[in-house]
């Protein structure tokens, strides 16, 4: 029986009792020995740390670049939340780069290998997500797609090399895994309920028209009728008013000349009419067309905007009814932003070259502006695009609006229906039309 320096007895043949300091020193020595590997192993090569940093540092730079831009400038809360996650991921990757330096140079910190492995894993996932975001709507930037692909491959190799370099993983793995899964589930639930659902919500705006009480001038020479046009946004996202048009119609009835109902029905079918009367022929004429909103303005979530116009007619007007129809082009403010010049630089079809949008004898006023994407990744990886709006009017069919989205270098190219529909879904671009609303004038003209 012998006695150790600390005074404790130990039996013959029993290993000596070591202090905690010596245990930690021997553990680090074993980890360094494992990290050295065999003379021919990959992780033992002196250039390995530099090659690993060449993967992690560019990834951290791009994540920080995109993340900071989105935190301060993304159009949707989902984009800002994603930007914050990218900044956090960039910080984790930078810690992983510091861990690589310590892991291959003395291992002064026991968790340096774990930090290096975590940084490489985060870089692998981040590069994969960046590649998916870049190519999901088609490869518009080959350079970025190739870059993300190369970084994915190098990140995978980095994870393999670091894992086989003697990384010390703490003992309570189950607790760490359970905590990580719980945190991930909580973040996913928060992101889905508070961010993802509003982002993918269909706005479903409405456009309504109504007539007010008419008034007759003192000399009974004119009739004044107020007309209200109201646009409502019941959704949780803001909506642009890209352009609008309204048409005031006068409808009159005339005695039928012929009693050939079949011929009248066939003629009306071509004009998209589904009502036939043996007593009278109804004729509608546009008596006033115009715009009622401000091009490029917007309506906040759960908001509305309305305007009232006064329609004046001579008391002896031949019209028996007054009608109104309206159209409006809208897009989501969380999917895009418009160049300030949109709506301020009109081009007239009768002065410039005419386009296919001004067919059938219609005249057009064209508005065009640059679209800015809703996040920094899309802004840098997608081709610049322009939104074009045509305000069309005709002496027989009234006024309406139509829109198109095209690349900056293909403004005059005719976009196919599939591509046009895909772009309109991306930016939430829709045309909202009101129902036809008519009011009788017989009670006023008595």
From first to last of its 446 residues, what are the pLDDT tens digits of the chain? 455 444 555 555 555 555 545 545 555 555 444 444 444 455 556 677 888 888 899 999 999 999 899 888 888 777 888 888 889 889 989 998 998 888 888 777 777 888 888 888 888 888 988 888 888 777 778 889 899 899 999 988 888 888 887 776 665 555 555 555 655 555 555 455 445 555 567 888 999 999 999 888 888 888 899 999 999 999 888 899 998 999 999 988 776 655 556 666 676 666 655 566 655 667 788 888 888 877 778 899 899 999 999 988 888 888 888 999 999 999 998 888 888 778 777 888 887 766 666 766 678 888 888 888 888 888 888 888 888 888 888 877 888 898 888 877 666 555 667 777 787 888 888 899 998 889 888 888 77
Q: Are residues 152 and 261 in the same domain?
A: no
Shared domain for 341 and 399, answered yes or no, is yes
How many angstroms separate the most distant Cα atoms in the chain?
132
Say yes or no: 218 and 345 in one domain.
Answer: yes
**Integer Cα distance of 222 and 317 in angstroms:** 9
Query: Which of 365, 360, 413 lies closest to 386 in space, CA to CA?
Result: 413
What gap in Å lies between CA 77 and CA 74, rounded to an integer?
A: 7
Using CA atoms, how far apart are residues 178 and 190, in angstroms rounded to an integer?
A: 18
Give the per-residue pLDDT at 32: 47
Shared domain check, 151 and 83: yes
* Number of independent structural domains in the chain: 2
| Residue 19 covered by a domain | no
CA-CA-CA-CA torsion for 16, 21, 26, 29, nearest 10 degrees?
-160
- The pLDDT value recorded for residue 151 is 92
One domain, residues 100 and 218: no
78 vs 62: CA distance, rounded Å: 19
- The residue range of the domain holding 52 is 25-169
Question: 112-135 vs 142-163: helix axis angle to the nearest 10?
Answer: 160
Residue 37, classified by CB atoms within 10 Å of its CB into exposed (0-12), middle (13-18) or buried (19+), is middle
Q: Among 328, 331, 295, which Cα is nearest to 428's?
A: 331
In this structure, the answer to whether residues 249 and 299 fall within a common structural domain is yes
Instruction: Name which of 131, 130, 127, 99 is nearest 35 in CA terms.
Output: 99
CA neighbor of 444 nearest in space, from 321, 325, 324, 323: 321
- The pTM of the full predicted model, rounded to 2 decimals, is 0.71
Q: Are residues 162 and 226 in the same domain?
A: no
| Residue 219, helix vs strand vs coil | coil
Determine, yes or no, domain membership for 360: yes
Position 40 scores a pLDDT of 47
312 in any annotated domain: yes
Residues 139, 382: Cα–Cα separation, whole Å: 8
The answer to whether residue 9 sits within a structural domain is no
101 and 240 belong to one structural domain: no
Q: Is residue 387 part of a domain?
A: yes
Q: Are residues 112 and 240 in the same domain?
A: no
Q: How far is CA 408 from the centre of its chain?
A: 19
Q: What six digits make up the tokens of 299?
A: 């309506």
Residues 6+ apart with CB under 8 A from 178: none
156 and 219: one domain? no
What pLDDT, on the 0 to 100 scale, is given for residue 102?
83
Strands 280-290, 239-255: parallel, antiparallel or unpaired by DSSP?
Answer: antiparallel
- For residues 119 and 102, the answer to whether their CB atoms sit within 8 Å is no
Q: What angle do CA 417, 409, 368 make, to 5 degrees?
A: 75
């Amino acid at each position: 029986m012998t006695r150790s320096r600390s005074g404790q007895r130990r039996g013959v043949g029993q290993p000596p009792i070591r202090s905690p300091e010596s245990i930690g020193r021997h553990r680090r020595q074993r980890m360094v020995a494992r990290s050295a590997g065999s003379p021919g192993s990959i992780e033992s090569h002196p250039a390995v740390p530099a090659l690993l940093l060449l993967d992690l540092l560019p990834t951290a730079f791009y994540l920080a670049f995109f993340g900071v831009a989105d935190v301060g400038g993304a159009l949707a809360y989902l984009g800002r939340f994603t930007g914050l996650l990218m900044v956090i991921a960039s910080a984790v990757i930078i810690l992983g780069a510091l861990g690589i330096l310590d892991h291959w140079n003395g291992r002064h910190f026991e968790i340096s290998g774990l930090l290096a492995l975590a940084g490489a894993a985060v870089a692998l996932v981040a590069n994969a997500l960046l590649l998916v975001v870049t190519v999901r709507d088609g490869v518009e930037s080959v350079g970025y797609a190739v870059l993300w692909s190369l970084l994915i491959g190098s990140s995978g190799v980095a994870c393999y090399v670091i894992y086989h370099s003697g990384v010390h993983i703490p003992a309570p793995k189950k607790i760490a895994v359970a905590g990580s899964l719980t945190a991930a589930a909580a973040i996913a639930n928060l992101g889905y309920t508070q961010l993802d659902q509003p982002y993918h919500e269909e706005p479903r705006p409405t456009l309504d028209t109504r007539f007010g009480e008419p008034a007759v001038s003192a000399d009974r020479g004119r009739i004044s009728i107020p007309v209200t046009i109201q646009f409502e946004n019941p959704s949780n996202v803001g909506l642009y008013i890209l352009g609008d048009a309204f048409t005031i119609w006068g409808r009159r009835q005339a005695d039928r000349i012929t009693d050939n109902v079949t011929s009248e029905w066939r003629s009306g079918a071509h004009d998209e009419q589904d009502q036939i009367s043996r007593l009278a022929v109804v004729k509608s004429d546009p008596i006033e067309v115009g715009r009622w909103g401000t091009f490029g303005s917007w309506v906040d979530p759960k908001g509305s905007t309305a305007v009232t116009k006064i329609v004046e007619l001579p008391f002896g007007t031949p019209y028996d009814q007054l009608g109104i129809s309206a159209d409006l082009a809208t897009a989501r403010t969380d999917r895009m932003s418009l160049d300030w010049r949109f709506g301020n630089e009109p081009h007239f079809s009768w002065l410039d070259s005419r386009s296919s949008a001004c067919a059938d004898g219609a005249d057009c006023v064209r508005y065009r502006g640059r679209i800015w994407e809703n996040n920094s990744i899309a802004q840098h990886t997608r081709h610049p695009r322009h939104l074009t709006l045509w305000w069309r009017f005709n002496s027989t069919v009234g006024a309406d609006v139509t829109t198109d989205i095209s690349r900056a270098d293909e403004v005059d190219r005719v976009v196919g229906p599939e591509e046009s529909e895909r772009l309109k879904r991306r930016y939430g671009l829709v045309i909202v039309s009101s129902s036809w609303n008519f009011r009788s004038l017989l009670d006023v003209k008595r």
